[in-house]
Amino acid sequence: MLLQVLLNGVLIGGIYAACAVGFSLIFGVLRIINIVHGEFLMLGAFITYWLFKLYGIDPFFSIPFSFAVLWILGYLLQKYVINRIIEAPEIMSLLLTFGLSLIIANLALIAWKGDYRLVNPEYAGANFRLASLTVPYTRLATSVFAFAAMAGLYLFLKHTDLGRAIKATSQNKDGARLQGVRPATIYSVTFALGAAVTGIAGSLLSMSFSVFPSMGGDYLLFSFFIVVLGGMGHIPGALTGGLILGILQSLSTNFLGAGMTYILIFVLLYIVLIVRPAGIFGKGLVE
């Protein structure tokens, strides 16, 4: 029934948006496409899985761990590896993050095998009824959490000194330098922040979807789609893009079949690129 399908779409959309936010931020500030993004999600998801499986920690409580681990990983990666090619042609950062993603995804594959895992605490399948709609608790909770995380990031960027410095750098690298901010520090922090937020998103994902080492690829594509629609480095844009994607996927899976969804997304991406390449809010990838 249509309303239910839409609701599902909105709930998923929020999570997708959270997935894309880190990607969008990193691109907005560092101007690099971070192919390892998918692996950050995967790592966040696995952290939640293993904490749950081995120590019985409730998935929601694993979120600070994902945040911390991915922050450290992101910071180190940026500072010691990615920073070396930050001034080089774009293709270099693409290749580099691509290579890194190969390494991480396949290390995970060796360590944890390719099986699909599920994070299923006792309350996993429970839901409540609202009018004629079924609302799964977990979905609702992760969705709300996703919104909260994005709101938090938004406020951080807007109202803290560090956040404003990050925003300044995304607009104008030299302008930021004039304000006394060192781009190198900003890059490391932004990348770390982007990775950490993505880690949270990964944890949230793990509560609704299966977890496996090569899961990153699809979400990378989704994040890209969201950034095309919503614009780079623009959180409300990511939210809008995520919701649209979620609703689209829900509608398509229900009425057209799962296989068609990819095709639909690509066709839509294509149309948007022709008709309005700058995205809905005009902050997109084309000047």
Smallest gap from residue 155 Cβ to other proteins (A): 21
Smallest gap from residue 181 Cβ to other proteins (A): 18
* Smaller CB separation from other proteins, 4 or 261: 261
* Smaller CB separation from other proteins, 106 or 160: 106
* Smaller CB separation from other proteins, 123 or 262: 262
Q: At 134, phi and psi to the nearest 5? A: -100, 125
Smallest gap from residue 221 Cβ to other proteins (A): 5
* Smaller CB separation from other proteins, 138 or 170: 170
Residues 6 or more apart in contact with residue 234 via CB below 8 angstroms: 24, 28, 281, 283
Q: Which of 196, 171, 192 is nearest to 181 (CA)?
A: 171
Smallest gap from residue 243 Cβ to other proteins (A): 19
Smallest gap from residue 240 Cβ to other proteins (A): 17
Smallest gap from residue 103 Cβ to other proteins (A): 4
* Smaller CB separation from other proteins, 120 or 218: 218
Contact residues: other proteins, CB under 8 A: 32-33, 81, 84-85, 88-96, 98-103, 106-107, 109-110, 217, 220-221, 224-225, 228, 257, 259-263, 265-267, 269-270, 273-274, 277, 282-283, 285-287
Smallest gap from residue 237 Cβ to other proteins (A): 13
* Smaller CB separation from other proteins, 106 or 120: 106
Token output for 171 = 């607009």
Task: Give the Cα-Cα-Cα angle 145, 146, 151 (nearest 5 degrees).
Answer: 95
* Smaller CB separation from other proteins, 88 or 155: 88
